[in-house]
Structure 1
Amino acid sequence: MTYVVTDNCIRCKYMDCVEVCPVDCFYEGENMLVIHPDECIDCGVCEPECPAEAIKPDTEPGLDSWLQLNSEYAEKWPNISAKKDAPSDAKEMDGVTGKLEKYFSPEPGEGD
């Protein structure tokens, strides 16, 4: 099992999860984070820290595509281990549906 970041992180990109991760398995895209599934130790401390509830265990049904996306972009994006400020419109974007199709950016973030 591993944890994955799902669509509600897109354009919310809260980073409370990054701060508590003991193995620094988060990677930063331009407008979301992902978890490297081979680095995640399945401790689960990140899940309750996410204000957008965008982190889920990969054992939940229907998350195969999110596991694949997390795995793919964790190889392309820079590692991040320090919390940064969320986007100014994060609260407005929390809960918006269809984010992957409308707002996902494959561009990397800045990293640490």
Structure 2
Amino acid sequence: MSAANEMTAELLIEIPERFPNIRIWRNNRIKAMAVGRGGKQRLVSAGVDGQADLSGILGPTGRRLEIEVKAGRDELFTAQINFGRMIRDHGGVYLIARNVEALLSELEGIVNAK
């Protein structure tokens, strides 16, 4: 398992334990071939380019939460930067996780902000 996948798995456990009003889930982006009508193959796509690794909702406000997980020297792609900007421009929270404890601390500040 990669470092980013390990961090993602840890966040999926830690966030609900520390923040019971946050709902969080893994947000997969896939493209695959599927058999359609008449046996014809077609490309099926789920998700959008640049979407974050984790998606969720901050309760009780219903505010959108997106977390992009980056390990080591991983950097954001242009599509990820644009996605983050779009989330923030529409009032959502977009965070970049490079360390579990740092992300949880940042999230604590957001949750406790009045």
Which has the greater radius of gyration? Answer: 2
Q: Which has the higher contact order (CA 8 A, sep 6+)?
A: 1
The alignment's TM-score, normalised by the length of structure 2, stands at 0.28
The structure that is helix-richer by fraction is: 2
